[in-house]
Amino acid sequence: MNFGAQALLYLVIHIGALILTWWAIQSLNLEFLLKNPKGIRARAFLILLSIAISYLVADFFLDYFSQSLYLPQIYK
């Protein structure tokens, strides 16, 4: 896979994971954890939390994809 296609794949997977994580976090009831759930600090916390989780999710899928490319080497 060339570098341009690989970079595009990484960007699409990371952005997709971020959207999926943000959507999933919106369903959580986190008001009891936050002092002011509608404030800017609470929004910043949710954004940073979704970025951190989406990075882990995207990294998992990218590692899975890259390692699966090596599977044909077993039979050589």
pLDDT-derived band at 73 (thresholds 50, 70, 90) equals confident
| Residue 73 token pair | 């080497």
> Is there a contact between 72 and 31 (Cβ–Cβ < 8 Å)?
no
> Is there a contact between 58 and 17 (Cβ–Cβ < 8 Å)?
yes
> Is there a contact between 50 and 17 (Cβ–Cβ < 8 Å)?
no
Domain layout of the chain by residue ranges? 34-60
pLDDT tens profile 19-61: 999 999 999 888 888 888 889 999 999 999 999 999 999 999 9
Q: pLDDT at residue 62 above 90?
A: yes
- Give the helix/strand (H/E) hosting 22: helix 3-25
